[in-house]
Structure 1
Amino acid sequence: MADPFEVRMRFTSQLQHLNASVSSAQKAVQYALKYKEMDEDLHSCILEQVERNNMNTRANIMYFIEHFLDSAHKEGHADYIRMMQRDIIRVVDAVAPDDGSGAANVRVVRRVLQGLQGKGHIDSQAVSQIEEVLKERETTADDLGLASPNGDVDMADAPPSQTIPKPGRRGAAPQRLDKRQVEQRIEEDRERHKREREHIWAVPAGGEAEINRLWDETSDFGDDDDRLLAEEADDFGKEMEMRKCRHQGAANGVKR
C-alpha cells in the first residue's frame, strides 16, 4: 500500500504545477483516481491548495475541478463529487475572495461552475445563489492590470442547504498583480481560448453514425434516376447550343 504522506505530497505538487494544458490536469486527475481509497485526504489537498496559492494557480485548480469531476463521474467514484458539492462554497470563496484579490477569477468561477451545473455535478439552485454574490465581487481586468485576449469563464454552485457569505470588505481596493503573474495569466488564457476554438470545429462523437443513418435512409439509385439525369443532360446540351448560336451570331454581326 502506498504511503499516505507521499501520496498527499505528490498530489499537492501536481496541483501546484497545474497550467493551461490539458495534460497537466489529466495527470492530476488520474493520480487522484488511482488513489481513490484516500479520497478524503486528496480532497483536502485541493482545498488547501486553492486557499494557499496565488490567483493564477487558484484559477488553474478551478479548471482542474471540472476535469476531475467529469472523470470521477465516468469512473463511478461519486464520493469525490459529493465532497466537492459539500465544499463548493469554500472553493469559490478561495478562488474569488471578497477582498478584491480574486476579482479577475470571477469569470473563471462562473464558467467552470456553469459547466458543472450543465453536467449535473452541482445543483442549479446553488449556482443561482452564488451568482448573486459573484456580481458583487466582479471587477474589470483593467482594474487589476490584467489584459486577457478572451475574458475567461462563467458560473457557480453549491448544495441548496449552503449559503455563501456576503462580502465583508466591499470597499477594499483590488490587489494588482505583478507583471510576471499578468503575463502568465494572459498566456494561459490564450491557450484555453485556442482550445475552445478547436472544440467548436471538432466533429462531435457520433457524427459518423449520423452520416451512415442518412445514407441508409436514402433510396437506391434506379431507372428513374437514370432517366432524370439523361433529361437534364439533354436540356443542358440544348441550352449550351442556343448560347453558342447567339454568341456566334453576335461575332458575325447577325442580330437575332
Structure 2
Amino acid sequence: MDGMDPFEARLLFGNMLENLSGSQATIDRAVAFALRSAEMADDLFECVSEKLEKLHVPPRLNVLLVVDGILGGRGGAAGPAWHDLVCKDVVRLVQAVVPETPGGDSNVAQTRKVAAGWRRRGVFDAATLDRIDRLLEARAGAGGGGGGAPAAAETGMRNQDILKRIEEDRERHKRHKEDAWIRPAYEPPERELAACWDAASDFGDADWAEIAVDAEEHRRDCRPLAA
C-alpha cells in the first residue's frame, strides 16, 4: 500500500487479527486489508502464523475465517501470492486452530465447514484437502465433533464469553449456509453438479420404501371412481 512499509502493515494487520470477533465486519476489514496489501503477502502471512500461535485457542477460528476470506470465501479473490503461501502451510494452520485441547474441540465443527467450502470451491488440490479432512475427522473422533460451545470449566472461558461464542457460532452457521449457494463465475458447470452428487447420500432401503409409498399413493389417487 502507498505510504506504508511492511513493518507498519504488520502492526496494523496484527492489531486487526487480535481484535477479531464473530462479527463479519471485523473479518471483512482484515480480509480487505490483506487483499489491498498483496505485495506484502509474505509479511502479513507471517503475522497470521504468529497470531495462531499466540492467541487463545477459541479466537483462532476467527483468524482462519480471515484466511478463508482471502482465499475467496464470500466473494473474495486471493492473488497467487496469498494462495501459494497458504497452500504450503494450510495443514499446519488448521492444526493450530484445532489443537487437542477443549478449546480446540470447540473449533472443530466450524473448521470442518470452512474446509468443506475449500473443497467445494476447489481452493486446494485433493491430496491437501484429504489430509485436512483426516485431521478433522480424527479430532472429531476424539470428542471435537459436537459443534457446541464447551463448558467454561473446560476451556477457562467466562460464562459471558461462552454466550458470545454461541451467538457467533449461530452467525457463522448462517453465513456458511449462504456461502453454499455462491458459485464462482469461472467455475465449470459440471463442478456444481459434482458437488451436489457428492453431498447426496447413497440409495438405500429407506429410499425404496419411500418409492413404494409414493407408488401406492399414486395408484390410490388414479383409481377410477365407482359408478
Q: If the TM-score is normalised by the length of the shorter chain, which range does it land in?
A: 0.5 to 0.7
**Are positions 1:122 and 2:128 aligned together?**
no
Contact 1:62–1:108 under 8 Å retained in 2: no
Mapped to 1, the partners of 2:8 and 2:45 lie a distance apart of 15
Is the 8 Å Cα contact of residues 148 and 166 (structure 2) preserved in structure 1? no
Larger radius of gyration, structure 1 or 2?
Answer: 1
Question: For 2:123, what is the secondary structure of its paired residue?
Answer: coil
Amino acid at match of 2:16: Q
| Greater percentage in helix | 2
CA distance in structure 2 between the aligned counterparts of 1:93 and 1:177, rounded to whole angstroms? 21
Deviation at 1:7?
Answer: 0.9
Q: Give the letter for the 2:46 counterpart.
A: S
How many residues matched? 178
> In the TM superposition, what is the alpha-carbon distance from 1:42 to its structure 2 partner?
0.3
TM-score w.r.t. length of structure 2: 0.67
Q: Is the 8 A contact 1:19 1:60 kept in 2?
A: yes
Q: Which residue of 1 aligns with 2:164?
A: 184
Q: Does 2:173 correspond to 1:193?
A: yes
CA distance in 1 between partners of 2:10 and 2:56 (Å): 20
Identity, in percent, stands at 29
Q: Aligned in 2, Cα 1:74/1:14: closer, same or farther, shift over 3 Å?
A: closer
> How far apart, in 2, do the equivalents of 1:114 and 1:198 lie?
14
> How big is the shift at 1:129?
2.2
AA of the residue aligned to 2:172: R
Residues 196, 86 of structure 1: CA spacing in aligned structure 2 closer, same or farther, 3 A cutoff? closer
Q: Cα gap change, 1:80/1:199 in structure 2, threshold over 3 Å: closer, same or farther?
A: closer
The separation in 2 between residues aligned to 1:27 and 1:177, in whole angstroms, is: 26
- Can you list the C-alpha shifts for 1:172-211, whole angstroms capped at 9, x where unaligned? xx645332331221111122234456678x89999xxxxx
In the aligned structure 2, how far is the partner of 1:195 from the partner of 1:61? 16
For 2:182 and 2:91, the matched residues in 1 are separated by: 36
Listed as ranges, the matches of 1:89-238 within 5 Å are 89-138=91-140, 139=143, 140=146, 144-145=150-151, 175=155, 177-196=157-176
What TM-score, normalized to structure 1?
0.60
Residues 21, 175 of structure 1: CA spacing in aligned structure 2 closer, same or farther, 3 A cutoff?
Answer: closer
**Cα RMSD (Å) of the superposition?**
3.1
Gaps of 5+ in 1: 147-173, 207-256
